[in-house]
């Protein structure tokens, strides 16, 4: 380790930084939304198609940030974009019928079905197709927000209950 890096690291109290991060996260979530209504979500047109985002790493006003959650709509006879990603996504088909190509293998689905996209080290290639020429297909997709899964509170709280006797507070 270089002396420069060591000196930079020594300038901070990383335990104190962890507690400060906890406090910032708590403040951000204090008034977080617990009920997200579809009618309040805009339909976004993007490279994957049409989506309504319930939870996303850039949506900061929800009480949880541990998942990505979106609704996707595929117009009659159309398809989604094709994407390569890590997988680990669960999809509930709300309406319509079609199929998903997963690494080139066709998997048919219809309203009421659940699609489990596997988590693979090298990723997966996925594309969804709406086979109905008259009705849109809609599904809800959920996956872990691997960007910020647990927060500092780790679901059980994170409190400094007593300082070590050797700890000396720096003057403010």
Same domain, 6 and 64: no
In a domain, 158, yes or no: no
Domain shared by 14 and 55, yes or no:
no
User: Of residues 122 and 137, which shows the higher confidence score?
Assistant: 137
Residues 74 and 11 in one domain: no
Contact 71, 54 (CB under 8 A): yes
Q: What is the mean pLDDT of residues 105-126?
A: 94
Parent domain of 4:
1-30
* CA–CA gap between residue 4 and residue 33 (Å, rounded): 44
pLDDT tens per residue, range 27-75: 888 888 899 999 999 999 888 999 999 998 888 899 888 889 999 999 9
Q: Specify whether 15 is located in the same domain as 61.
A: no
For CA atoms 134, 48, 66, 142, give the dihedral sign: positive
**Which backbone phi and psi does 134 adopt, to 5 degrees?**
-125, -20
For residues 82 and 24, state if they share a domain. no
Residue 165 lies in a domain: no
Residue 152 domain-assigned (yes or no): no
pLDDT over 70 at 157, yes or no? no
Q: Looking at the structure, tell me whether residues 70 and 114 fall in a common domain.
A: yes
Is there a single domain that holds both residue 55 and residue 109? yes
């Amino acid at each position: 380790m270089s002396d420069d890096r060591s000196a930079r690291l020594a300038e901070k109290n990383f335990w104190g930084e962890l507690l400060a991060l906890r406090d910032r996260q708590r403040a951000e979530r204090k008034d977080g939304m617990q009920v997200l209504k579809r009618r309040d979500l805009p339909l976004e047109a993007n490279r994957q198609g049409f989506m309504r985002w319930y939870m996303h790493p850039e949506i900061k006003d929800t009480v949880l940030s541990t998942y990505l959650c979106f609704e996707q709509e595929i117009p009659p006879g159309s398809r989604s974009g094709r994407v390569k990603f890590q997988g680990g996504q669960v999809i509930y088909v709300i309406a319509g019928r079609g199929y998903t190509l997963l690494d080139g293998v066709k998997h048919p689905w219809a309203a009421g079905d659940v699609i489990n996209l596997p988590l693979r080290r090298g990723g997966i290639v996925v594309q969804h197709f709406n086979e109905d020429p008259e009705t849109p297909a809609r599904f809800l997709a959920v996956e872990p927000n691997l960007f910020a899964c647990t927060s500092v509170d780790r679901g059980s709280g994170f409190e400094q209950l007593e300082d070590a006797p050797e700890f000396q507070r720096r003057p403010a």
